[in-house]
Chains A and B, each alone.
Chain A
Amino acid sequence: MLIAYGEESRNSNISFDPVGTGKSVNEASSSGSCAEDLEGEALLSAVRSASGNLSQDCVKTGKALYPASSLSPGRGKCSSNFSFRPSGDAVILGCDKVPSYISRSVAGSYDNEAVAIFALIFTFYLYIKTLNTGSLFYATLNALSYFYMVCSWGGYTFIINLIPMHVLLCIVTGRYSSRLYIAYAPLVVLGTLLASLVPVVGFNAVMTSEHFASFLVFIIIHVVALVYYIKGILSQKMFKVAVTLVVTVGVAVCCAVIGVLVALVASSPTKGWSGRSLSLLDPTYASKYIPIIASVSEHQPPTWPSYFMDINVLAFLVPAGIIACFLPLSDASSFVVLYIVTSVYFSGVMVRLMLVLAPAACILSGIALSEAFDVFTRSIKFQLPGLSGNSHSGAGDTSSGSATIQDNVAKADKQSSTPKSEDTLKERPSRKNRKKEKEHVEKASIKSHIEKRLLVLPLEASIISILLLILLGAFYVVHCVWAAAEAYSAPSIVLTSYSHDGLHVFDDFREAYAWLSHNTEVDDKVASWWDYGYQTTAMANRTVIVDNNTWNNTHIATVGTAMSSPEKPAWEIFNSLDVKYVLVVFGGLVGYPSDDINKFLWMVRIGGGVFPHIKEPDYLRDGQYRIDSQATSTMLNSLMYKLSYYRFVDTDGKGFDRVRRTEIGKKYFKLTHFEEVFTTHHWMVRIYKLKSPKNRVRGKSKKSKSNSKPGSTTSSKSGRRKKNPWH
């Protein structure tokens, strides 16, 4: 096992993002939860209207368009109407505190993901809304919210692949309708046009493979639409002829298009997929070919504890929610199932995508919870004599019967310690719906009432189950509060530790950045590992060589090469980049594990990927990464080692590194091309200045006295030219 370089927790990676300073903590948390509430509400109404309106449409349009084979209107309508309505509240309860979200906003700073998840869920909501209503208005809104998502996060490709998948699923299972067409076709056309307006995306919206699935499905849905249209205007016999005709033509066209696409894709070296997307499909891809992606700890596969940490009990409720979605399966619920399945897969590939899983898990566990409460409270209601006596008999006034059931659900919800405001929240839509539903509820509810009577559970079992569910929810709340307080609310730029004499603050990063911003020239350039790029730009207000934007791999590799080289070549590389200061993060004195020595192997790998003279085995002793006396000489002479441990032995006389838990290998050495200009209080950040070239030449001429002066200078110049990776 290498020493801990891959073990930094994900919140150590938040430090890669610049921390905003303006907003107070209160502001942030309140607005954050507002946004999340909004999402929950959106989902609530999405799922609700999904089930409600779907059955309504079935009744209205009847058998005209499409055989209602799998949809049993009667049962589907009633049970779903009653069970799904409170699920929105449960979703809100889950969503507003899920730790996975809280990890994305710390002390007033927001990741773009914090915005993007709202956009993602809102897009899904509008998609389902369009699917249920068939309204072009919502379809347009959907395209706009997709545009918002494209603007905010690269994860928009998830939408543009998930929705086609769902459309395809609907077509395959025979659920094609004009509403599906309206939900999908405008999204592809408008969405792609809008997406290509975003500078980062541009022509990628039509050129890269991530988007091809949507175009393929776009073609398929047109073919299917044509089939349904022809079927409508032709007689039975003529249709059979037409089917064969259209299918052959359609297949031929599809094959041709697919052939063209495959040819296009195969012509590009990465098969048209960007590295990040490829590593999603093939988890081993990145670590094999793109070290810069693999080096980010957010891109590592998660461990099981991180699931428990981030979504907690939701993980156990999700399977129940999936089952609930199949009773009955509607367009909306099938979408939810598809969403959870894909997001579980993606979160298994990358820790960061846990964020996409979180809302899906919240939706499904919300459905599961409310479904469970529904079943249990119904069982109690039918068995408690007092309660059933109060309620009207099922055979009587049907509308009031349904109302009492709703009331009971409301009571059950009150029991589950949900806020009071939910009552009003629930009342409003139910009042609106009731008028519409009145006519067709009547007959069905009698039947369902009898059916429900058969589905009761024992009284004791249901009471205990309700209590246990409430307990589970309470645990979830406790966990979320704990996670938010302990794990996700500490800005990683300021570290704290508790000791016997109270809280100790390690504010070294800002100390160094403040020093840089006040005591160096405005146009000085700072080189550091790319993790600190945005921070240096924002907090120290200095130009950096590489930052957290990893689009330009070569630059990062150059800095990696310099850090892995001995002093002189490193000086030459930095000098050619016009660097004045080099910043390294060193945790050996106080035991801060995510320092540059622990990241050093990635610098070697990334540097070696572009400049082959840097070889990883040179830095490893028998495959082991070590910095003690057994370390290789390449390692001990590398710039990173020297800058990190310069005069470290003077602190305790032995040079004991508290992160690696060993004494360092090379203790006494001098720097020839760099000088220490600043080290923070706990030694966590060390800043070195490149010595001016004049000094360097003088030192050199002293050494090579026999050489004639002009000769030596020319040789040094040519030597530099050879090794400099820029020439």
Chain B
Amino acid sequence: MNGNPATYAIWLAVLLMIGLHQDVWNWDNDRLVFGFMPVALFYHACFSVAAGILWFLATVVAWPEELEALDAEADRNSGMAEVGTEGGKES
């Protein structure tokens, strides 16, 4: 993993999300958001969207550096494999 401050911020955000998942303030609340969506469900649907955003940021700032080298190698091998492929079978 990257050791930059942004990476630590991501892991802190993950911990914060784990805390936010425990929405004790909604436990006894049966209010309907927009008149149909139970608030407990609405909150957790928003939580899912927030998780998607958090993981997007993680892939931007905390993506493992060593993968870049491996990907470059995979790209080179894939080019070579195409050259070395004969009749759909690996040569």
Do A and B pair up? The answer is no
